């Protein structure tokens, strides 16, 4: 019989795709974002999917949760993100982990898994991270051994640089140790030294997709500044075809460039008086070295939602619900399924 999962802040199901690949079964999924729950329900037809906030669901009745072996979720992270305002005291989302902890308290799973951005461990000298660990270790009705690790998805075969904190709790009667999966990939320069595989190419992950997927990527409508704002070109937004991608983000305006776009070069820099830079496009297309059959993208374009989903390692049949902005939001907020699958292999060893 498959181990049962309650998936909180479930989003488009990134964690669940990874868990189901290892034979787990999600019995309940909660998310406040209607487009996400519509996406989840379409892909996980046997799961009870509810569109609700965690606190509202916790208050709905005495114990609304089914029995489950695992509770997992990536509670919203904007207040801890390097790209956010980073002022958690004034952001109510900072305390959503308490709703997650309350669910753990009620379900008493054998294992719980929480995911958050890397900035959580650094913000205010790690005080918000310590606060969460203290709740999980000392304030639940059942005792858990709690383990955490900062992981980079690229180290596990995901063609993307994506650093996240993973927190795993193991119920005392189940075990006293959790060993995170060892890296399978590394920087190309370290391959000979480590014997690991080189980081995966994001160009190879998306080369099978159409070069001009009309309607699947963001374009600035009728803007005199052109398709890319001053903010967008204030940094290099393009990685080479043979490299991992930048982190896939949730805002479709800030999604980075397809590697078949022309190279960017630094036009000017004034970091001494702030962080301002100006990058410009060149006439060089270095992707032809790796995929000569792939067209030159002129004009350059951002990655499409389908390409972002492939870089996140969603399965090929995955198609999110909602409008274009909502599709990107779901994909950018997800845990890469391939990364989650590696973690769930270790969970299976405990169970």
Residue-level pLDDT at 86: 44
**Is 313's pLDDT higher than 80?**
yes
The superfamily (CATH) of domain 4-182+331-350 is Vaccinia Virus protein VP39 (3.40.50.150)
* Cα-based distances in Å from 24 to 1, 37, 47, 48, 327: 9, 19, 12, 15, 25
What would the two tokens of residue 216 be? 């699947």
Q: Choosing from 29, 71, 77, 123, which is the catalytic residue? A: 77
Closest CA to 294 of 159, 161, 202, 184: 202
186 catalytic residue (yes or no): no
pLDDT tens-digit readout, 200-241: 999 999 999 999 999 999 998 877 778 999 889 999 999 999
pTM of the full predicted structure? 0.93
Contact between residue 7 and residue 115 where contact means Cβ atoms under 8 Å apart: no
Task: List, in sequence order, the alpha helices (H) in 108-208.
Answer: 127-138, 191-194, 202-206
Predicted confidence band of residue 268 (pLDDT cuts 50, 70, 90) = very high
Predicted confidence band of residue 64 (pLDDT cuts 50, 70, 90) = confident
Query: How many CB atoms within 10 Å of residue 351?
Result: 14
275-291 burial string, b = 16+ CB within 10 Å, else e?
Answer: eeeebebeeebebeebb
Predicted confidence band of residue 121 (pLDDT cuts 50, 70, 90) = low
**Is 118's pLDDT higher than 90?**
no
- In the chain, what are the domain boundaries? 4-182+331-350
Of 11-20, 217-226, 304-313, 334-343, give the lowest mean pLDDT range. 217-226
Distance, in Å, from the CA atom of 246 to the CA atom of 204, rounded to the nearest integer, reads: 15
Residue-level pLDDT at 201: 98
What would the two tokens of residue 148 be? 């955490």
């Amino acid at each position: 019989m498959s181990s049962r999962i309650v998936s909180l802040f479930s989003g488009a199901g990134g964690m669940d795709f990874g868990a189901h690949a290892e034979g787990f079964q999600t019995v309940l999924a909660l998310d406040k974002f209607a487009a996400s729950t519509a996406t989840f329900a379409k892909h996980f037809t046997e799961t009870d999917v509810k569109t609700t906030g965690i606190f509202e669901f916790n208050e709905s009745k005495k114990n609304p949760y089914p029995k489950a072996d695992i509770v997992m979720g990536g509670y919203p992270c904007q207040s801890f993100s390097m790209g956010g305002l980073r002022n958690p005291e004034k952001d109510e989302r900072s305390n959503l982990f308490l709703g997650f902890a309350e669910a753990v308290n009620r379900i008493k799973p054998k294992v719980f898994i929480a995911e958050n951005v890397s900035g959580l461990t650094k913000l205010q000298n790690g005080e918000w991270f310590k606060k969460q660990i203290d709740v999980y270790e000392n304030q639940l009705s059942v005792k858990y051994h709690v383990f955490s690790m900062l992981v980079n998805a690229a180290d596990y075969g995901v063609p993307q640089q994506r650093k996240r904190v993973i927190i795993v709790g193991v119920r005392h009667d189940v075990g006293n140790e959790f060993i995170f999966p060892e890296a399978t990939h590394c920087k190309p320069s370290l391959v000979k030294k480590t014997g690991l595989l080189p980081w995966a190419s994001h160009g190879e992950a998306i080369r099978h997709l159409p070069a001009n997927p009309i309607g699947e990527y963001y374009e600035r409508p009728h803007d005199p500044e052109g398709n890319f704002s001053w903010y967008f070109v204030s940094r290099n937004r393009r990685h080479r075809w043979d490299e991992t991608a930048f982190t896939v983000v949730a805002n479709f305006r800030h999604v980075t460039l397809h590697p078949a776009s022309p190279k960017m070069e630094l036009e000017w820099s004034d970091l001494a008086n702030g962080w301002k830079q100006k990058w410009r496009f060149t006439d060089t297309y270095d992707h032809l070295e790796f995929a000569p059959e792939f067209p030159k993208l002129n004009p350059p374009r951002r990655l499409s939602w389908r390409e972002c989903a492939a870089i996140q390692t969603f399965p090929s049949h995955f198609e999110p619900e909602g409008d274009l902005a909502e599709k990107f939001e779901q994909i950018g907020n997800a845990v890469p399924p391939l990364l989650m699958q590696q973690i769930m292999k270790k969970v299976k060893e405990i169970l």
